[in-house]
Amino acid sequence: MDKILESIPGKFKWFDAVYVKGRSTPVSFRNNRFHSLSESENSGFGVRINRDSRTGFSYTNDSQRVEGAVQRAYSMAPYGDPENFTLPSDTQLKFEPYDPAIESFSVKDEIEAAEEFISSMQKEFPGISMDMGISASNGVMRLVNSEGVDLSYRDSYYSVSVSCVLVMDDGVRIDTWEGKSGLCPVDYSEFREKLSDKIRRAQIQEKISTGSYPVILPPQAFGRLAGIIASGLNGVSVWKGVSPFVGKTGEKLFSDSFTLADDPLFEGSPYRIPFDAEGVNVSRKELVSKGVLRGVITDLKYAERLGTEPTGNASRGYSSLPSPSFTAVTVEPGNMSFKDMIAGVERGIVAEQFIGLGQSNTLTGDFSANLDLAYLVENGEVKGRVKDCMMSGNIIDLLGGEVHFSSERERKGSAVMPYAIFPAVSITA
């Protein structure tokens, strides 16, 4: 703090700086065998300075050159846009997203567990080729500002991902994966059954013709489509007028059953944060409540521009300016079980994985993707795989029509999602 103050060459209105430091140990398995063990130690410093109401920014990851970064940020300020917001002074550190159990991470144990996992999968699928990544990391984030905030917190993160490839004699490829994360090492034994089930079914090929079908999207797949909605709920795209939700706050745009929130405090998630990257205190916010648009996420800059309260969604690495982003997109569950969802379908599709989703004009909610992994549902039962077809539609329209959500939810990365079923989605085969 003193060092930053000393280095600022002239008058300023405010400044803030982040210092991040992290250490991680990724273990990697490729093609069914242990491949590499890595150790990574990195740190960095980023500073922004507001001078005559304009902000300059710079960064370095060389601890001996912090002064240079401060001076660069100062000299860049005249290029910035006018910004008149003030930085918070009441930042509270209520918890640390850290679990000391991360220290129990043992490379040897993880390697043994992974080897066991792979060989159990190989027993059932002799030709399978598996990659695994297991990683533990911990770090420190420190935020300092000219309003007297100087807080730091530790964070910890554990993740495991398993991906399986099975190539059939005719070149047909079954490629599927599961992943999980936590504040400390987690048990992932349930992947065995989940992956086996997906691969077993995928070996049976079913046919589907062009038409409109009921489609069930499991949490991971639905999360990707909900992400298109989430990006329209960002203060930046609303300010720029490229969000489909501009000027629609208070309107009912979606089905009653659709409630979407950002929840930076979601219990058990390693993505929890005590305050955002500008020091704004955070809480759960509903952006869509029972189909009605309530608001968008902002940082200090976009809250000022839009004339709203900051929502505590500033995110930044050391080498970038803060910008609004979701900490954890959550969609509220419904009251139907996944089992009942399937049971009610006469002929439809469960779409697990896509290729090329998000390469459409997502600003308007459009999507069109090849079904990388999808299953036919017939008379209330999940059958074999359907492939070589594309699913297209508009996610805003779909969520505005009939949609049901499951009572179960899963956290995939930071997103917490239920299963979703849409009664009619367009399939091109």
Residues 26-45 that bind other proteins (CB under 8 A): 30-44
Q: Give me the residue label for tokens 């997906």.
A: 198
* Smaller CB separation from other proteins, 144 or 166: 166
Q: Is 424 in the site for other proteins (CB under 8 A)?
A: no
Q: Is 76 in the site for other proteins (CB under 8 A)?
A: yes
* Smaller CB separation from other proteins, 145 or 353: 353
Alpha-carbon separation of residue 156 from 17, 282, 347, 357 (angstroms): 21, 19, 45, 31
Q: Is 137 in the site for other proteins (CB under 8 A)?
A: no
- Per-residue tokens: 280: 């704004």
Question: Which residues ranging from 154 to 173 are in contact with other proteins (CB under 8 A)?
Answer: 165, 167-169, 171-173
Q: Is 175 in the site for other proteins (CB under 8 A)?
A: yes
- Per-residue tokens: 196: 């086996």
Alpha-carbon separation of residue 36 from 26, 33, 39, 108, 317 (angstroms): 8, 9, 10, 13, 27
Q: Tell which one of 7, 315, 407, 426 touches other proteins (CB under 8 A).
A: 426
Q: Tell which one of 71, 86, 370, 407 touches other proteins (CB under 8 A).
A: 370
Q: At its nearest, how many Å lie between other proteins and the CB of residue 363?
A: 4
Question: What CA–CA distance (Å, rounded) separates 202 from 175?
Answer: 10
Q: Is 320 in the site for other proteins (CB under 8 A)?
A: yes
The full length of the chain comes to 429
Q: Tell which one of 49, 149, 184, 369 touches other proteins (CB under 8 A).
A: 369
Cα torsion for 189, 193, 194, 197, to the nearest 10°?
160
Q: Is 108 in the site for other proteins (CB under 8 A)?
A: yes
Strands 54-60 and 14-30, by their bridges, are unpaired
Q: Is 81 in the site for other proteins (CB under 8 A)?
A: yes
Q: Is 366 in the site for other proteins (CB under 8 A)?
A: yes
Q: Is 106 in the site for other proteins (CB under 8 A)?
A: no
Q: Is 314 in the site for other proteins (CB under 8 A)?
A: no
The 243-282 contact track toward other proteins, x by CB under 8 A, reads: -x--------------------------------------
Q: At its nearest, how many Å lie between other proteins and the CB of residue 167?
A: 4
CA angle, 71 then 322 then 72, to 5°: 10
Question: Which residues ranging from 41 to 70 are in contact with other proteins (CB under 8 A)?
Answer: 41-44, 46, 56-63, 65, 68-69
Q: Give me the residue label for tokens 């930085």.
A: 87
Tell me the number of residues near other proteins by CB under 8 A: 74
For the purposes of burial, counting CB atoms within 10 Å of the CB of 77, is it exposed (0-12), middle (13-18) or buried (19 or more)? buried
Q: Is 120 in the site for other proteins (CB under 8 A)?
A: no
What's CA 289's distance to the chain center, in Å? 21
Task: With residue 409 as reference, give the H or E element that holds it.
Answer: strand 404-412
Question: What CA–CA distance (Å, rounded) separates 17 from 144?
Answer: 5
CA angle, 133 then 139 then 140, to 5°: 160
Q: Is 241 in the site for other proteins (CB under 8 A)?
A: yes
Q: At its nearest, how many Å lie between other proteins and the CB of residue 54?
A: 9
